[in-house]
Amino acid sequence: MQEIYEWLTNVYNFLGGIIMIILGYLLPIKDLIHFITLLFILDVVIGYWWARKRERAKFKTKIIWNKTMPRWLFSVIILGLLYYWDKVHHQDWVSSYYVGGYFLSGTIIASIVDNALKITGWGVFKGLKHIITSNVEKNTGEKIQEDDNNRSI
């Protein structure tokens, strides 16, 4: 019994060490990950507010776990891979993870502003939406398209 306890303790220590190595490696981009996380939280809150106002929808955690969390995890993985790419190739000209973070944060902010425009109808949000989408499209070369539910992708 003591051997099983020691083996399990060693496995947990090993897995904890692996997690700490990953977190320690991503420490230089933690501010970018925190910012993306904050934007995802704001997008969820504003999106829920819009759904509540439009459809009288109730809060569903299933939507968060099925849509928002995979998008957030994918975003963090992409930022981590871009950071790794920059470090492996020793390129200092333009930080790829900053470009990726700019694109991700721009699309999330565009979604937040789009939902705020739908909620309030305030013209300032329409102008902000146009400025943000045009800047993202100009600086990244990617167009922000609308999906079936008229929400930004």
pTM of the full structure: 0.68
pLDDT in tens, 8-53: 788 888 899 899 998 888 888 989 999 999 999 998 888 888 877 7
Cα dihedral: 40, 45, 48, 54 (round 10): -120
CA distances (Å), 113 to each of 38, 80, 93, 103, 133, in order?
15, 27, 32, 15, 10
Q: Is residue 146 very low, low, confident or very high in pLDDT (cuts 50, 70, 90)?
A: low
Residue 152, pLDDT > 60, answer: no
What pLDDT does 145 receive?
65
**Pairwise CA distance, residues 85 & 92, whole Å:** 11
Contact 76, 36 (CB under 8 A): yes
pLDDT in tens, 64-90: 888 888 999 999 999 999 998 888 888
Residue from 38, 52, 51, 55 nearest 108 by CA = 38
